[in-house]
Amino acid sequence: MDYRVEKDSMGEIEVPSNVYWGAQSARSLIHFEIGWEKMPREIIKAMGILKKASAIVNAELGKLPAEKAELIIKACDEVIEGKLDSHFPLSIWQTGSGTQSNMNANEVISNRAIEMAGGVMGSKKPIHPNDDVNKSQSSNDTFPTAMHIAAAEEINHRLIPAIKNLRDTLKKKSEEFADIIKSGRTHLMDAVPLTLGQEFSGYVHQLDKALERINLVLPGLYEIALGGTAVGTGLNTHPLFAEKVAAEINKITGLPFVSAPNKFEALAAHDALVFAHGALKTLAASLMKIANDIRWMASGPRCGLGELSIPENEPGSSIMPGKVNPTQSEAMTMVATQVFGNDTAINIAGASGNFELNVFKPVLIYNFLQSVRLLADTCKMFNEHCAKGIEPIREKLNYYMNNTLMLVTALNPHIGYDNAAKIAKHAHKQGISLKQSAIELGILTSEEFDKYVRPEDMLGPK
């Protein structure tokens, strides 16, 4: 492999000739060969967005020559489009401020701009990674800005549509199942009737509330730290830079980003991301409930509950022929488990800032973006490969509904709790129906029982 020699404030270092990264990225690759987790593509794109916005605003404010800004903007567009992704090789496990990744972006944009200008890569002429690409910026405000841009874009463009699609499918199922009466279950035991549609309406409302909570946390993510520079004071920026660069990022992304009203908080803490991930964790809890219910109701085919039929997507066993498993539910519950773990990591990272800077930024945003990606993907897969194909098994639903002892609850207003309990216990002990039990005990006649115990009249207040 051919190498070129680049310089930074610590001296010379060899860099592969065919890459756009420079000296500080090369040092990071040596010192942080930890794990396989690389900086997410979403952060790389966000860096391109904020560097482009900064170049535009610096040029408008007379801080950067127009010809330099034009070169930087062209290189940033390639970063945003993903054309230069292979030149961002750095590990998540690096400096806690994300400084190496900020410099990785500065070096890649600088060297690509130099190449466009016909210059020599690594020369820092005509575009310097610090003086030009990083003008009016610090790693301490660029990386948290990239965190918020990436989080907001992924939630808006990936997660929310996936939740809505799953919610709409479950809503359609709820309406289709509106007339199917079934036995309820509480404590995993028989309970009073409801409709399958009512049961599914609970899942729909869980996702409606999840969307509400996610929309509630977005305003905090729209506040960006850019303009705070090193400690939040805005040293080395134009007085108008922070507001203007936020407006420019707003234009580029189409999302309502604003300059954070207090840059000290924006650099030193990540409460907005901790709060936002709480909404993601709650969504994960909802999805685990929904997935578990559906796989229990679909359990069988002969020795389980067998109330629902779900799509048969793949063979379920390497030894048991014909076995098919509820794999979409299993995947969804595993995703939920991972999100719960990510939440713990994010809580610790968010709580661990010291004085003017939180230095757990890369691990925090890595886990956050993983949660968004996993939740969006599992909603999409569950919707396409499970929810859309859910069908009721009416015979089994009717069997359970007609044989549940908890239909006796309808008798409470007529004969009292104690007499109703006698009927249920006698029926269970003798293995007979509630109606037979009521007649044997002399508490009700056949006609009275039929008058009072009507499952279709037990589905709401009367």
The catalytic residue positions are 187, 317
| Contact between residue 142 and residue 39 where contact means Cβ atoms under 8 Å apart | no
Q: Please, are residues 406 and 190 in contact by the beta-carbon 8 Å criterion?
A: yes
**Strand ranges inside 244-307, DSSP E:** 258-259
Q: Are 14 and 26 in contact (CB under 8 A)?
A: yes
- Residue 256 is given by DSSP the state -
pLDDT at position 462 is 83
Would you state the structure tokens that stand for residue 143, as one six-digit string?
A: 């990386």
Q: Assign 367 a pLDDT band (cuts: 50, 70, 90).
A: very high
Mean pLDDT of 293-301: 97
Which runs of consecutive H residues, i.e. helices, occur in 9-156? 23-31, 41-60, 66-81, 99-116, 139-154
Please report, as a single letter, which amino acid is at residue 393. I
CATH architecture group of domain 405-457: Orthogonal Bundle (1.10)
d(CA 227, CA 133): 14
pLDDT band for position 1 (cuts 50, 70, 90): confident
Return the beta strands (E) in 319-429 as ranges. Answer: 391-392
In this structure, is the dihedral angle defined by the CA atoms of residues 63, 49, 213 and 140, taken in order, positive or negative? negative
CATH 1.20.200.10 residue window(s) in the chain: 141-184+194-393
3-state secondary structure at position 410: helix
Q: What is the pTM of this model?
A: 0.97
Residues of the chain with CATH 1.10.275.10: 3-135
Length of the chain: 462
Phi-psi region for residue 180, left (φ > 0), alpha (ψ -120 to 50) or beta?
Answer: beta
Structure tokens belonging to residue 330: 């299993």
Q: What is the mean pLDDT of the chain?
A: 97
- All CATH 1.10.40.30 domain ranges of the chain, comma separated, are 405-457
Can you tell me the mean pLDDT for 115-133?
98
- As a 3-state breakdown, the chain gives helix, strand, coil percent values, each rounded to 5, of 60, 10, 30
Backbone angles phi, psi at 424, to 5 degrees: -65, -45
Is residue 434 scored above 90 in pLDDT? yes
Neighbouring-strand partners of residue 195 = 181
Q: Is the pLDDT of residue 94 over 90?
A: yes
Q: Which two tokens stand for residue 180?
A: 């199917």
Cβ neighbors of 413 (< 8 A, separation 6 or more) are none
The CA distance from 267 to 181, in Å, is 55
Contact 60, 164 (CB under 8 A): no
Q: Is 168 helix (H, G, I), strand (E, B) or coil?
A: helix
Helices assigned H by DSSP within 351-443: 361-385, 394-403, 412-415, 417-430, 434-440
How far from chain centre, in Å, is Cα 55?
A: 31
Is CATH 3.30.1330.10 the classification given to domain 3-135? no
| DSSP element (H, E) containing 14 | strand 11-16
Which pLDDT belongs to residue 8? 93
pLDDT beyond 90 at 252 = yes
Q: Span 91-98, mean pLDDT? A: 98
Please give the structure tokens belonging to residue 314: 């793949």
pLDDT band at 16 (very low <50, low <70, confident <90, very high): very high
CATH topology of domain 141-184+194-393: Fumarase C; Chain A, domain 2 (1.20.200)
CA 2-13-69 angle, to 5 degrees, is 90
Instruction: Please give the single-letter amino acid code of residue 194.
Output: L
Please answer whether residues 89 and 68 qualify as being in contact, where contact means their C-beta atoms are separated by less than 8 angstroms: no
What average pLDDT does the segment 406-426 reach? 97
Tokens 């005990």 belong to residue: 441
